[in-house]
Amino acid sequence: MTEINWNELRAAANAAMKKAYVPYSKFPVGVAALTDDGRVISGCNVENASYGLTLCAECSLVSQLAMTSSNGPAKLVAFTCVDGKGNILMPCGRCRQLLYEHSATGMILETVSGFKTIDEVIPDAFGPRDLEERK
């Protein structure tokens, strides 16, 4: 596994945040993650006048993951999320589940209360690993 450069991830999240489309909330969010094949991917939130159609930054990150994985699906090993001032944010519960779905075992998140594994931020989660075990 590639060593995690948190400064690089934060810089990528901040760069993505600057591309956010937030005409309604004025609350830009940027995210970045390291994949198990060593790539850094990022995403930002994209709002919609029909508020329920707004895409969280994590959604655009997972879309990037799918679009840029050429040798099968990559897994996320490290993740960070920032607001418009570069402050660390905790993903909401829906986005934690989305991240869990695409995480490597033990993925690390930078959170407002320090570094935590995906299992610590969404305990007892149910995802693809569970489906494989129950076949």
Q: Give the CATH number, domain containing residue 102.
A: 3.40.140.10
Our count of domains for the chain comes to 1
Q: Is 38 within the bounds of a domain?
A: yes
- Sign of the four-CA dihedral 75, 65, 33, 38: positive
Catalytic residues: 58
Q: Is 52 within the bounds of a domain?
A: yes
Rounded to an integer, the average pLDDT of 16-44 is: 97
Parent domain of 60: 6-133
Question: Among 37-41, 48-52, 102-106, 126-130, which stretch is predicted with the lowest mean pLDDT?
Answer: 126-130
Residue 2: per-residue pLDDT: 61
Q: Is 1 within the bounds of a domain?
A: no
Give the percent of the chain with pLDDT over 90: 83
Residue 71: per-residue pLDDT: 75
Q: Which two tokens stand for residue 43?
A: 């995403």
pTM of the model: 0.92
Residue 70: per-residue pLDDT: 74
Model confidence pLDDT, tens digit, residues 95-134: 999 999 999 999 999 999 999 999 999 998 888 877 777 7
